[in-house]
Structure 1
């Protein structure tokens, strides 16, 4: 008999941990999670109940959610994403941050047997395994030493190579596939109950199906092995960044790679404010600015930059681990992002709406609603908010909800990566807005480098790291006076409205 989940999934408790603006999602979250848990294999459900029963009666809802997330690779992944979201209560974030690097649960003999099944007898390869050092949502990391014969006048005939094996947990492929199918069923239910639950009609089934495809990459270790080689080449000219080097002895279930020595960037031990800000800026440069301003047609970006995958190495570099989940930020998407920001800079709401619609997948958004969203967010620019990446993401989020905008799959993943990274950067640098500031500085740096080359490019050429053509620059400059006038007029109107409001309040008080 499968357990009812009402004992754990309390709607009021969900409301207490959600940001006020998202409290209305407590009920759909509870219903969706109940459907998901109820579809798990009976033995897994019983294991979840036992884990909850072992907690003291005084355990908080946040603690129970943290323990629940450990029971499922899908919930584990969601928990890692939310662990650094500053909108959530600190207690919940602390419990979820434990998911970033859990102690191994799979026994050492099972791991040794699984690796030997993939590679053959380890003693013949000169490999000696150490105790497992970490367990993630789908895999376990096991260190090793390998003795190899060497030659040379100063050699003793042996050299030792240190590395790690990343091996999939037994049965994880079937478990993840089953859970992702359940996630699609949750999307189907939300689509059917949008009106009853009073949530936006967003085609949740399609969104969860896209997540299904991406998350399956987590268990496709051959893909990760290719990504490791590509990431090493991508950061070849950046000495401050280190990615693990791929080593021999890789299979479909085992990735063999260099071991990076260090610790999580959030546990950096840095005391100087300048050092913290430099590390936070490097996170933004490497994981966001590098793909955004890349000259490659489809640059790779890390799809899962939670703190457990980001190391400060012993020699002071940024180590980026786990390249199983990646996306590609195509030139067309980057160009359109720049066009949206340029239209916002000159306060062109119509241009913002048109460019945003061009980002959409084949299905066209609601143009009237999209125009209203664009006007709202351009008004924010007129009041002084810079149309950087955080502005763009917030605008796109609202366009998705209000205008049924459907953005490309990789752009959705980039949004998720940014969400995960924002919290990490704040924890490292202890300041908000660091990613936007870093992007602005990188834009100006690339733009300065491009200036001499612009004399030799046609007006409409976008073959620049900034994705800005000479025509774009001219158009922005021509629109600047009108934008400035509108900006000043807007501030004047805001001041008048503020004064009128204060006067009205004063009259009400006097009466």
Structure 2
């Protein structure tokens, strides 16, 4: 149905796809079928997204957070996608501001810079000063962007329905992925959500036993001015970490300061990932600012991820299993994480882990990229048709971005080296929780309940065993097939015995009998035995049991 609607936009998309020579997609857009569909090369796919416009650039950026779906080469290429759009004129932005504010613009702001300091596909940012003198950053939604996104969402869903008819579409549940991406696109239109994420991260990072919270800042949200289309944040005066100029001060060298900042960021994200379960999912270099007062700011909290306590525990154990090069444990933990059923061949999964970890046997921790290792974990799961939760892709991408940013800022740093001193504390927390006394009391109650119920349960079990009322329900895989094979074998054996008996009987009669009647009977028995024996041989040959 979608082919008959939004014709002009569809024509634009088809033109871009045809120009880039994507035969498979051409077949889908024209209603044809595509056998053995293949993705275009990473560079071609990136070019297609750029030519399709800002919404598809955003889609490409979202796809780059899913290394559980795409190979590393695609993730790396799509990660470089940036929205290159000119800012909207101040007149159009002023209209949006006046519509969103409850008071006249002049009564709220003493000054608003009409020149945008940043422009993206969905919004652009202006520097402003409140009437009371406080400096703020205004993130204003681009006029008309909602209609554009809704139109492209309609097309994305239509394409997903077509791809879903293919084998690859069903294997990856393309329709569900399309729904997931369209929800993410709509969420980016709601700045109230981004404000709530910023507020929660700010609260979570305000306390820590692993780093000094005073050295890390997340901008404050001005809730009284924030709406779905306008986000007002505290202005933080600084510059990107990568361009900041570090000098010797207070006896601390620039290299030592870089190492301290790197350790601060690593520990902050370790807390977000493995303690809070709520993390900033886009830690690329542009989102880290070095402020003039020496603090580090974490910006742009629009993309976040979540991990439940069970996933946190499994991922923490996965780190330990990777460090210990334990392929069997990696296999078990992957299956615990999986949404889908177990693979048909567990041995293949374990062999894949053995092969992967063997590459790192003789390397020190400082030479191992944990992000690369976890990307390979996701690839192994994908090759063995194990579907992991979508947040695993976001987790892996976050770790990769964090490690990549840190290596650019401080090339000698290593994530595993920074995690190792915290492992004991991390495992202790997961074992005992935030309140060891409360955990101990809860465990004591569980033991008490078990001790009270166990005697009664044992009594019931013994009673059923002695009264012969105990039944065992066993489900043996392929047992019916085994039973049928045994039945066929038993029937053939019985048939062979009957044929042999006929032959022996005919031979005895032939040797003893002198009359013509005995001779006829003997010949008849030989004939029947020969016919039945030939039929048995043919049936065995037709079943293929004699083939090697």
1:191-340 mapped onto 2 (5 Å cutoff):
201-237=171-207, 238-247=213-222, 248-270=224-246, 272-286=254-268, 288-294=269-275, 296=276, 299-340=277-318
Partner residue, 1:434: 414
**94, 114, 138: which one pairs with 1:165?**
138
Tell me the equivalent position of 2:131: 147
Indicate the residue corresponding to 1:5 in structure 2: 16
- 1:264-308 residue CA offsets vs partner (Å, 9 max, x unmatched): 22222347333333333333222x3122342x4xx3211222333
Q: SS of the residue aligned with 1:164?
A: strand
- Write the distance in 2 (CA, Å) between the matches of 1:96 and 1:388: 20
Please, what is the CA RMSD of the aligned residues?
4.3
Q: Which has the higher contact order (CA 8 A, sep 6+)?
A: 1
Q: Normalized against structure 2, the TM-score is what?
A: 0.61
The residue matched to 1:28 in structure 2 has which SS?
A: coil
Q: Deviations over 1:141-184 (max 9, x none)?
A: 12221223xxxxxxxxxxx1111221111122233344345445
The answer to whether the 8 Å contact 1:373/1:395 transfers is no
Residue 423 of structure 2 is aligned to residue 443 of structure 1:
yes
Q: Which has the larger radius of gyration?
A: 2
Q: Write the mapping of 1:90-129 to structure 2, written as runs, cut at 5 A.
A: 96=80, 99=82, 105-119=87-101, 120-129=103-112
Query: 1:483 — aligned with what?
Result: none
Change over 3 Å in CA distance of 1:192–1:318 after alignment to 2: farther
- Separation in structure 2 between the aligned mates of residue 236 and residue 401 of structure 1, nearest angstrom: 38
Check whether the contact 1:228–1:323 (CA below 8 A) recurs between aligned residues.
yes
CA distance in 1: counterparts of 2:192 and 2:160, whole angstroms: 29
Return the alpha-carbon distance in structure 1 between the equivalents of residues 311 and 429 of structure 2: 22
Size of the alignment, in residue pairs?
395
2:97 and 2:140 in contact (8 A); partners too: yes
1:174 match = 147
Alignment check: 8 A CA contact 1:241 1:317 kept: yes
Residue 137 of structure 2 aligns to a residue in which SS? strand
**Aligned equivalent of 2:451:** none
Distance 1:284 1:409 in 2: 23
Contact 2:202–2:218 (CA<8 Å) still a contact in 1?
yes
- TM-score, normalised by the number of residues in structure 1: 0.65
Between the aligned partners of 1:265 and 1:80, the Cα distance in structure 2 is 24
Q: Is the 8 A contact 2:20 2:48 kept in 1?
A: no
Q: Within 1, Cα distance between the matches of 2:430 and 2:313?
A: 16
Shift in alpha-carbon separation, 1:138–1:451, aligned structure 2, 3 A: closer
Secondary structure in 2 matching 1:163: strand
Q: Would you say the 8 A contact 1:185–1:205 is kept in 2?
A: no
Gaps of 5+ in 2: 1-7, 23-35, 208-212, 248-253, 444-548
SS at match of 2:339: coil
Match of 1:371 in 2: 350
Q: In the aligned structure 2, how far is the partner of 1:169 from the partner of 1:273?
A: 41
On the 8 A contact 1:81/1:306 being kept in 2, the answer is no
- 5+ residue gaps, structure 1: 12-24, 35-61, 149-159, 462-511
